Every structure is written in structure tokens, then in C-alpha cells.
Structure 1
């Protein structure tokens, strides 16, 4: 007979330092020792789409991730998996330049995928899963 594993309750994470969800979802969910962060498009906390090049847009996505990570008791070094979606694969090099600055020497598992379209007509969307430090 198998014993059912004990699970921790889900905690909904939200911060005003990142844009509000654009649809019926949470900015992040903390559950079973992980923080699952919903995809972030280049919206400011004031819910305005960032203008400019793909690096400026990617930077806003990473800024949003950082704010949500902090709200969930994590940092970029706690990220174990990150998924990057773009509407143009030629953005790969430019997004990577911002990515390296965000992570410094940390290298989580990653996917980088070109898609036909993204929500709100965004050029880039980034989601992540982080391991929550034991004291959080």
C-alpha cells in the first residue's frame, strides 16, 4: 500500500511591483517548495507595454520576474527552470545578452522557443520556476 505524500498548501503570490495579470491567473503560486511564476510580458507595473527594442522589452520581463521572485522569498539564483518565448527567433542573441546580466553566473535549465504570437501582441514572454529557500 502506498502512502500519500504530504503536501503544503498553495500560496498565491502577488506584488504591485509587477504588472497585474492580464487574464484570470496568478502572478505566481508557491507550492511544495517551488515558486511557479506565470509568463511575464514587457508590461510595466503600471500595466503599460514597454516600447523600444527587444532588449528593453526583455529587461522589463526580467524586472517583473525579479519583483515576483522577491515577493515569493526567492532570488534569480533560486530559479531552476526558465522558459523564454519570442515571436522571432532572431531575437535569440539580444535576449541572451539581457539574460546573462540577470543571471550572472547562475545557469538554470532553459527553453527558448519561437512562437507565432504571444498575449497582448508582445514580442517576448518569460516564465520561471524557482526552488524556495527553506527559510521561506
Structure 2
């Protein structure tokens, strides 16, 4: 089995090219990097956590598309959220709005700090395509 990096200009670049990848394909699985609520140019999305969540899903959808996948291929998501008690229901609203049925399994984790400067949410996906 070989590993293959998946990249697209339609999503934020890996924070340190060569050290991180937007996604890695291994066999039928694709793992994305943790993605904050930034535009493809790296600018943080202003506004609400819902706005950043929508942008993250749009960014991850672009990464999936670079490997001929869609949100329907996502089998697992991990969501890291600051201010968990306040933000969790708001993130769920966007999740329900954008993620197709059947929705993937998901782990949501409350965190004190996220590495991407000033973000309050980060999401990563695992997708499957035979």
C-alpha cells in the first residue's frame, strides 16, 4: 500500500508544507488535516462559530473533491471546540444543515486552546472510497 498526499488550492494550504499535508490517501481511506475556519488564502473567517464551521466544511469538501470524493464519503469526523458548552449546539446546527444523511460517526472534544491562531473550532475527516 502506498500513501499519497492530496492537495488543492481550493482549501487552506498545510501549515508547514512538506511537514503537514491537506490530506493523505492510504488504500480506500483518506485522512484530512485538522482544518480551522480559514479561507483558502489562510485568512480567518470573521463572524460566528457557525460561519467558521461552514467554511471548514467547505474547505474539507474541496479537499475531498481533489480525490474525487464528496461529503457522502466521510465516515468519521473529529471536531475540536473551544467554549464547548456554548458552541456545541451552534456547531450541531451547521452539521445538520450541511452534512448529508447518513451522517458520519463523530467525536466532539472540548479544548482549552487550538493551535491555529485565534480559531475556536477545528475539524478533521476520515473518508472512504473503494
TM range (shorter): over 0.9
* 1:57-76 equivalences in 2 (<5 Å): 57-76=52-71
Structure of greater Rg: 1
Give the Cα–Cα distance (whole angstroms) in 1 for the partners of residues 120 and 24 of structure 2: 25
Q: Secondary structure at the match of 1:21?
A: coil
Q: Secondary structure at the match of 1:121?
A: coil
Q: In the TM superposition, what is the alpha-carbon distance from 1:122 to its structure 2 partner? A: 0.8
Alignment root-mean-square deviation, CA: 1.0
Give the Cα–Cα distance (whole angstroms) in 1 for the partners of residues 101 and 5 of structure 2: 29
1:68-112 C-alpha deviation (Å, 9 max, x unpaired): 010112111111100000111121111111111221322211001
Look up the match of 1:129: 126
Q: Is 1:94 aligned to residue 90 of structure 2?
A: yes
Unaligned runs of at least 5 residues, structure 2: none
The TM-score, its normalising length taken from structure 1, stands at: 0.89
Unaligned runs of at least 5 residues, structure 1: 1-7
Runs of 4+, deviation exceeding 4 Å: none
The TM-score, its normalising length taken from structure 2, stands at: 0.93
1:47-66 C-alpha deviation (Å, 9 max, x unpaired): 11100011001111101110
* 1:12-27 equivalences in 2 (<5 Å): 12-23=5-16, 24-27=19-22
